[in-house]
Amino acid sequence: MIEPLRFDNDALHLIDQTKLPLELVDLVCTTVDQVHDAISRLVVRGAPAIGIAAAYGVCLAGNASKNATKNASANNYLEAIESLATSRPTAVNLFWALDRMKAIVDANTDSESLKDQLIAEARLIHEEDIQMGEAIGRHGATLLTGCQRVLTHCNAGGLATSKWGTALAPIYHLHRSGAAIEVFADETRPLMQGARLTAWELARSGVPVTVLTDSMAGSLLQTGTIDAVIVGADRIAANGDAANKIGTYPLAVLAKHHQVPFYVAAPSSTFDFALASGDLIPIEQRAREEVASPGGIKMVPDEASVVNPAFDVTPAELITAIITEQGNIDSPNANRIAELLLR
């Protein structure tokens, strides 16, 4: 399995996802600013992976404060946390991970060991994510058993997490157990995470994968080609409304229309219980060039405006079940979610 992040010798090694599938190369970050830039540019992306990268990024502030006094050192870490919180707005895993790192700084009484404590916490966040992905795989497999052709959007696989992924975790689980399962991957405009990343990591693992343009999904659902749709999430509100890569919401509408189950897979770190519903989720707006000049090739005249919201929100009523590491939530609503995750 692909492991997109590694922290070694005071450096964060990231698979540079902007270069895939043409090149498999690492970007090595030794400063907080480099991690901020890597998250903003989608070198590392996917909600859980962003949180893990940010947690390690905080530790890099220690590189600049080796001989600092206790307060100066704590301040460096707090500044790093504040800065990394501005790297991307939608995936709540980023803020969840940074809150955990801040709790370590706030509780610190021993400046000598602060950096070690922070590294230990970042490693724990990383390890927990591997375990959550494995559990999501097991729970999701119970829903996908018997589904041979599964459609997904964007990349919610190993590259977007620490190892197993969220939406792809049940697929890896079933594939490893010998089930005949194949994936239809939306290319996912404008940044092509489905074509570049999902197709790459599935093919690498021997899972049959077929890429389609986003606009082809409706036709495949209409002709009965797809048995289930499964996607990840960047933030899920308390009532189950789920923000995910732009293009997810129309897929959910299509799936409902054609009575195909629509699953959202996400760890508990993706739930934001402070937000009652999905309309409160902040949606990242990205640069014009991503739409107007994909791959640097101009496609849109200068006179035309462009919209580029990176995410949309799927209402809970369109979601058949949310798959978490703690179990599956059928027909999700605020009560059912709280019953499983806040007990």
Q: Which two tokens stand for residue 237?
A: 């509100």
Residue 112: exposure state from Cβ atoms within 10 A (0-12, 13-18, ≥19): exposed
Cis peptide before 190 (omega within 30 of 0): yes
Is 310 a binding residue for ligand MRU by CB under 6 A? The answer is yes
Q: How far apart (Å, rounded) are the C-alpha atoms in residues 324 and 129?
A: 12
- Closest approach, Cβ 311 to ligand MRU, in A, equals 6
Is 156 a binding residue for ligand MRU by CB under 6 A? The answer is yes
Which residue of the set 16, 129, 234, 312 is catalytic?
A: 234
Whose Cβ is closer to ligand MRU: residue 76's or residue 201's?
A: 201
Closest CA to 83 of 16, 34, 18: 34
Known binding site for substrate: residues? 45-47, 88, 193, 244-245
| Selected binder of ligand MRU within 20, 43, 132, 233 (CB under 6 A) | 233
Within 14-43, the residues that bind ligand MRU by CB under 6 A are 42
Q: Which two tokens stand for residue 118?
A: 């922070």
Is 166 a binding residue for ligand MRU by CB under 6 A? The answer is yes
Whose Cβ is closer to ligand MRU: residue 48's or residue 261's?
A: 48
Q: How far apart (Å, rounded) are the C-alpha atoms in residues 53 and 88?
A: 12
User: Are the C-beta atoms of residues 171 and 275 closer than 8 Å to each other?
Assistant: no
Q: Is 234 a catalytic residue?
A: yes
Is 53 a binding residue for ligand MRU by CB under 6 A? The answer is no
Known binding site: residues? 45-47, 88, 193, 244-245
Q: How far apart (Å, rounded) are the C-alpha atoms in residues 132 and 244?
A: 19
Return residues touching ligand MRU (CB under 6 A).
42, 45-48, 91, 154, 156, 160-161, 165-166, 193, 232-234, 244-245, 310
Q: Which residues are catalytic?
A: 234
